[in-house]
Amino acid sequence: MDKQQLVDKTTETLRPFETSNLIDTMQHLDVKQIFSHPVVLIALIAIFFFGVVKRSKAVLLTLFSLICLAIIVRYAMPAPGDDLSMSSMFPFIGGGLLIGGVIIYFSLIKSD
């Protein structure tokens, strides 16, 4: 295989990972599809066990934040084509305050 064939094969292999393709895929996924994907579940479980074994408060708080943000985005984001209203912002505001409160409590107030 010459150099040009190798470059072409690599280009075709990496084409699904282009930014526009990734953004398009992310826009059409919902939380149920993301959290039911085995790779995502394995990664979350691995990060969870790493945080528990190492007793890393930062890792566990980050994992908590990411999961909560995914849930908030699922319930607070309007359907495509709908306007962003104040009633759809209340779950986002409340969830953001909850996440911020938990992070502040466990990282600054509660001591080991």
User: Tens digit of pLDDT for each residue in 101-112?
Assistant: 888 888 887 766
Kindly report the three-state secondary structure assignment for every residue of 7-54: HHHHHHHHHHHCHHHHHHHHHCCCHHHHHCCHHHHHHHHHHHHHHHHH
Residues in contact with 58: Cβ distance below 8 Å, sequence separation at least 6, in sequence order: 107
Global confidence as pTM: 0.58
CA–CA separation, 60 and 51 (whole Å): 6
> Token pair for residue 44?
């979350």
Confidence at 22, pLDDT banded by 50, 70, 90: low
User: Tens digit of pLDDT for each residue in 46-102?
Assistant: 888 888 888 888 888 888 888 887 777 777 766 666 777 777 788 788 888 888 888
**65, 103 contact by CB (below 8 A):** yes
